[in-house]
Homo-oligomer: A and B are copies of this chain.
Amino acid sequence: MAFGLISIISFAQTYTGPKEDIDQILKNIESFSSQVIAGDYVAVAANYTSDAKIFPNNQDILEGTAAIANYWKPSNGNQTIAHKVTPSELKILGDEAYDYGYYEGTTKLADGTESSWRGKYVITWKKVDNDWKIYLDIWNSIPN
């Protein structure tokens, strides 16, 4: 194993690759959730590469910043009041990476009721201008 690479297994979380890359991606995952909760869909879309693809269930593949921003734009008075992503594994492969794991959150609906949800995901990342951006983002549900 080359100097500077780490492989940590704790609480069933496996991170493999250079520490600074892992730290950057974990930081980006955290700020992604903060931006979703803030309803800042422009900032959320900026987490993706300009040619990124997202794979929402029961829709076609959506590609590019405008389509992705539109997907994350809060609608119908709904508000995401909790959003958390827990990677199970994160692996750096040079200037690309992938992670998979679980997400969970709560939406406050326009009528004031709250709906919680959770699911699982796979993301592939690309290193762009010394930062890490999401290139492919696919997920689906787990029953509550």
Which positions in A face B, CB cutoff 8 Å? 53, 55-61, 88, 91, 93-94, 96, 98, 100, 120-122, 124, 136, 138-143
Contact = CB atoms under 8 A, between A and B. Distances in A.
Contacts of A93: 93-94, 96
Q: How many copies does the complex hold?
A: 2
Q: Name the residue in A59, A121, A122, A141 with the highest tally of chain B Cβ atoms < 10 Å from its Cβ.
A: A122
Given A57-B57, A93-B94, A98-B98, A122 B140 contact: no
A126 to B, nearest CB: 10
Contacts of A139: 138, 140
Contact of A55 (B56, B60, B96, B120): B120
A100 B58 contact: no
Nearest to A141: B58
Given A53-B100, A100-B53, A140-B140, A120 B60 contact: yes
Given A55-B100, A55-B140, A122-B138, 20 more contacts: A55-B120, A55-B121, A57-B57, A58-B140, A58-B143, A59-B143, A60-B142, A61-B88, A61-B100, A61-B120, A91-B96, A93-B93, A98-B136, A100-B136, A120-B138, A121-B138, A122-B122, A124-B124, A138-B140, A140-B140
B136 A122 contact: yes
A97 to B, nearest CB: 9
